[in-house]
């Protein structure tokens, strides 16, 4: 067998391990269905503890007013709620939110606009600074801390629905709610992103919580017990996924986490290719940084073998992307080794990709959509092949992130631009282009050229993969170059806050 085929099969075998893990998550999720947390009854006033609501903000002029409207509308006793707008902005975001903060304060709400002289440690530094101010407040520090990013829109009863498990069980250190998607149907890219995130928030979080394994706070739409933050050593800025880092440190310190899948908090998906890739790059790089920081301690710990292995796949899952670089490079080249009438050889080349790298993911996302949208999932599963193509097209973006983490390349926290309700101003926070978009576009043409070659050779089995990957690379590459801000309207859609258990 040629070196090309050896490389191809070795890569597929390694990637199949990650695919098998996705199927294991599906099995775990379904096996422990009864462990799902139902939507709690709202907490009554007499049981409401003191809560600090932190709103970390950096240049969010398009969404800041919407965020503050939802924050001040939260249904919670005013003498037990403190709101911090942790504003590190360098544009007119501060001016836009200061009016609402002043109005809320004059109405009797304990709310403060917090500005720092230096943006040390980015979001982690802002949250840490806010906790220091809360500790030194005359009325004393808060027992619980809720956090929302600027594009989230919590319902008025969010705190009353999320605090009951934390109040009832003093071993719980954090509760995470599910993310909803208000602009899911804005364009093809947002539809595909929504399915990707549904897989994370339904099957990954759901399976890990139900299976008794570690999972993470997602940086927003969750509530922490203040003591858990302190016991874990507080917020740290030495990774760009400070939420993932703190989550694992808190669980290593003995705190349990809870996932409330039945409650979704509406949020906004990145509206264009550059914003989407920037977000994915940050998540991929930060997860590998956290893995390098914490995995040695996790693997040496006395945690169960299953929990340690799950932590490895969780924190190290993005290691699959360097393997994908190899697979995507050699897959079209294998066309030259195919013989039109040799069905056995062609099946040997195509079935491993289909079964291990494709079928497992199709099952994963199909189950996630069925669980998240029982009445709408059938209409969404037709998009799953495109989701897989999009995941493949992220290969260069996320492999670069992994490489940067491994070599220790430090980079600033890059916020993901949000469009909000002001569609005419979306370009305000447009990200730079970069060479990667050219590479993705060339990869798209590379795959479409391979598809044409396959047609001329009557090689039909690999054709769907070639066309799908080519179209996905062009979606990201050309989309990044043109960077269209496609929206159905200037209004966000309503999002359901509940999910059937």
Residues known to be catalytic: 88, 243
432 token code pair: 């730079």
* CA atoms lying within 13 Å on the CB side of residue 189: 27
476 token code pair: 């990201």
Q: End-to-end CA distance of the chain: give it in Å, rounded.
A: 51
- Adjacent-strand bridge partners of 485: none
316 token code pair: 């190290």
Q: How far apart are CA 240 and CA 189, in angstroms?
A: 24
Specify whether the backbone of 327 is left (phi greater than 0), alpha (psi in -120 to 50) or beta.
Answer: alpha
Q: How far apart are CA 230 and CA 235, in angstroms?
A: 9
Q: How far apart are CA 346 and CA 469, in angstroms?
A: 19
Contact 54, 145 (CB under 8 A): yes
Contact 175, 492 (CB under 8 A): no
Contact 220, 267 (CB under 8 A): yes
CA angle 246, 248, 252 (to 5 degrees): 115
**Sign of the torsion formed by the C-alpha atoms of 17, 19, 22 and 24:** negative
Q: Which residues contact 3 (CB under 8 A, 6 or more apart)?
A: none
b or e along 355-366 (b: 16 or more beta carbons within 10 Å of the residue's beta carbon)? Answer: ebbbebbbebbb
CA angle 287, 293, 295 (to 5 degrees): 80
- The SS3 assignment for 53 reads strand
Q: How many CB atoms lie within 10 A of CB 99?
A: 11
**Sign of the torsion formed by the C-alpha atoms of 360, 363, 369 and 371:** negative
What would you measure as the largest C-alpha separation in the chain, in angstroms? Answer: 81
- The strand pair at 172-181 and 51-57 is best described as unpaired
Closest CA to 215 of 316, 146, 310, 319: 310
- The strand pair at 81-87 and 51-57 is best described as parallel
DSSP 356: I
């Amino acid at each position: 067998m040629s070196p090309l085929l050896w490389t191809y099969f070795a890569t597929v075998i390694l990637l199949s391990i990650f695919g098998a893990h996705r199927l294991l998550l599906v099995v775990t999720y379904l096996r422990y269905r009864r462990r799902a947390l139902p939507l709690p009854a709202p907490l009554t006033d007499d049981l409401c503890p003191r809560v600090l609501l932190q709103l970390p903000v950096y240049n969010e002029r398009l969404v800041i007013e919407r965020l503050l409207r939802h924050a001040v509308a939260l249904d919670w006793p005013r003498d037990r709620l403190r709101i911090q707008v942790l504003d590190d902005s360098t544009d007119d975001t501060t001016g836009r939110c200061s009016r609402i903060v002043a109005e809320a304060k004059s109405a009797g709400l304990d709310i403060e606009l917090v500005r720092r002289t230096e943006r040390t440690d980015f979001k982690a530094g802002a949250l840490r600074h806010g906790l220091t101010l809360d500790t030194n407040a005359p009325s004393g520090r808060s027992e619980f801390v809720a956090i929302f990013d600027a594009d989230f829109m919590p319902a008025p009863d969010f705190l009353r629905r999320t605090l009951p498990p934390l109040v009832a069980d003093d071993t719980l250190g954090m509760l995470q709610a599910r993310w909803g998607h208000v602009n899911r149907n804005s364009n093809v890219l947002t539809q595909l992103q929504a399915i990707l995130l549904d897989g994370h928030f339904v099957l990954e979080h759901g399976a890990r919580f139900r299976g008794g394994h570690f999972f993470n706070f997602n940086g927003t739409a969750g509530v922490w017990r203040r003591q858990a933050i302190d016991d874990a050593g507080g917020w740290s800025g030495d990774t760009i996924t400070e939420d993932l880092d703190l989550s694992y440190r808190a669980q290593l310190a003995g705190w349990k986490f809870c996932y409330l899948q039945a409650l979704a908090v509406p949020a906004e998906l990145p509206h264009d290719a550059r914003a989407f890739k920037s977000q994915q790059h940050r998540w991929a790089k930060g997860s590998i940084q956290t893995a390098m920081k914490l995995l040695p301690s996790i693997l040496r710990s006395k945690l169960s073998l299953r929990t340690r292995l799950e932590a490895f796949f969780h924190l190290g899952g993005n290691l699959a992307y360097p393997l994908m670089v190899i697979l995507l490079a050699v897959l079209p080249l294998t066309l030259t080794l195919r013989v039109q009438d040799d069905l056995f050889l062609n099946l040997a080349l195509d079935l491993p990709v289909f079964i291990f790298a494709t079928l497992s993911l199709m099952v994963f996302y199909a189950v996630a959509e069925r669980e998240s949208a029982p009445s709408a999932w059938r209409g969404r599963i037709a998009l799953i092949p495109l989701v897989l193509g999009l995941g493949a097209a992220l290969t260069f973006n996320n492999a670069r992130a992994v490489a940067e983490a491994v070599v220790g390349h430090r980079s600033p926290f890059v916020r993901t631009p949000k469009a909000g309700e002001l569609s005419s101003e979306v370009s305000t926070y447009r990200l730079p282009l970069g060479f990667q978009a050219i590479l993705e576009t060339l990869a798209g043409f590379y795959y479409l050229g391979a598809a044409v070659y396959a047609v001329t050779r009557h090689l039909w089995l690999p054709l769907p993969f070639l066309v799908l990957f080519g179209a996905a690379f062009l979606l990201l590459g050309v989309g990044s170059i043109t960077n269209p801000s496609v929206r159905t309207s200037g209004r966000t859609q309503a999002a359901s806050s509940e999910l059937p258990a």
